[in-house]
Structure formats: structure tokens, C-alpha cells
Amino acid sequence: MTILPPWPGRRNVFMSRRKGLSEADRAIWALYARQVQALPGHAVPELPPELVVVETATRTVVLPAPRPVPAGAALLAVGNQPGGLDNATWNKFRSGKLAAGRTLDLHGRTAQRAYQALHRFLQTAHADQVRCVEVITGRGTGEGGGVIRREFPMWLNLPALRPLVLAASHPHAGNPGSVRLLLRRVR
């Protein structure tokens, strides 16, 4: 087949499409190609490493991978104002005036299942661009609280979750069994 040169004064649409696919388009194609069987001698395209696929209950979203937290960054602590957050937002968040868009209750779960549920919950909320979420860990029966309540601050600082969470605080001083999380915005 011969492609004729464009008409005078018109742009050749065939030439303009030869630039290739964007990274987001490649990710969508790789996601689609996983659903079909590859022809003999062909491989299924790999998902670009700088993109993350998050499957929510209603849709599948392709997002840029969260930026890693710098090595010298401070650890996230429940109730401490992080750097990069202005005082007005912090006060509104800390006092509980910033409404939680979603809630996760971890009561009655083992530590492993609670962590998996938290990981899925935060990934989905971040993909849906929810700004504030609430996680109910429970008070626990021991002196330091239950296992989930003790492990929760450590989970937030793990490499899988730390890039998603900006700040953490108890919405009410009298209820240490509930933690509100301010999620980072998708850039």
C-alpha cells in the first residue's frame, strides 16, 4: 500500500501518529493484553515500572508510582505535624474538622489480615483521590493497646505505605482506637 503525500495545506494524519504511545497508553495496553492469550512466538507486554495499576471495586486505574520518601525524611508519627503541611490544614485535620471520606474497621482481624486490608484500603483511596480516611484499630485490652494498635504506626512507615500517607492523628484525644490519615495528593 502506498501512502500518498498530504494534500496541499493539510496535515498528514498518518505521519503525526508515528510518534508512539505515551507511558499511560502503554500501561493501558499492557493491562488489556493480560486478558488475552498471546500468539505463539509473542510475549505479553510488560507494565512500565513507573506506573502502578490499582483495581478498585468499580474500575481499574493506572497511576504514576508513588514517589519514594527521601532517605533522610522523618518517620511518620501519629499526632505529630509533618513537614510540608501548613498549620491551618494541620489544625483542621488534627481537630477532626476535616471529614473522613472513607472508613476502615480492623476489629476482629489478625495482624497479617489487618495489614493486607489496610494496604488495599489505602491504595484504593489514593487511586480514587480521597484526601482523608479513618482507620479504626480498636483500643485493645492490654496496657499498650492491642496488637493492631501497637503495629499500626510501624505499618505506616513501611515503604509500601509511607509514600501514600502525609499525616496521621487521632480525631479525638479521648479515643486512641481511631486514627485519621491525610493522604498525599496524586501528582
Note the pLDDT of residue 47.
67
Take residue 156 and report the three cell numbers written for it.
505506616
Q: Is the dihedral of CA 175, 176, 178, 182 positive or negative?
A: positive
Take residue 157 and report the three cell numbers written for it.
512507615
Q: For residues 187 and 184, what is the distance between their CA atoms, to the nearest angstrom?
A: 9
10-residue block means of pLDDT along the chain (187 residues)?
Answer: 53 55 72 77 72 63 59 70 82 83 88 90 89 85 74 85 85 76 83
Q: For residues 19 and 4, what is the distance between their CA atoms, to the nearest angstrom?
A: 19
CATH class of the domain defined by 87-183: alpha beta
Q: For residues 116 and 106, what is the distance between their CA atoms, to the nearest angstrom?
A: 10
Q: For residues 184 and 164, what is the distance between their CA atoms, to the nearest angstrom?
A: 6
Domains of the chain, residue spans: 13-48, 87-183
Would you say 115 and 155 are in contact if contact means Cβ atoms under 8 Å apart?
yes
What residue type is assigned to position 174 of the chain?
Answer: G
Note the pLDDT of residue 146.
76
Nearest to 186 by CA among 168, 167, 163: 163
Name residues whose C-beta falls within 8 Å of residue 79's C-beta, 6 or more positions apart in sequence. 94, 168, 169, 170
Note the pLDDT of residue 93.
83
Take residue 89 and report the three cell numbers written for it.
490544614
Note the pLDDT of residue 60.
65
HEC per residue, the chain: CCCCCCCCCCCCHHHHHHHCCCHHHHHHHHHHHCCCCCCCCCCCCCCCCCEEEEECCCCEEEEECCCCCCCCCCCCCCCCCCCCCCHHHHHHHHCCCCCCCEEEECCCCCHHHHHHHHHHHHHHHHHCCCCEEEEECCCCCCCCCCHHHHHHHHHHCCCCCCCCEEEEECCCCCCCCEEEEEECCCC
| pTM for the full predicted model | 0.61
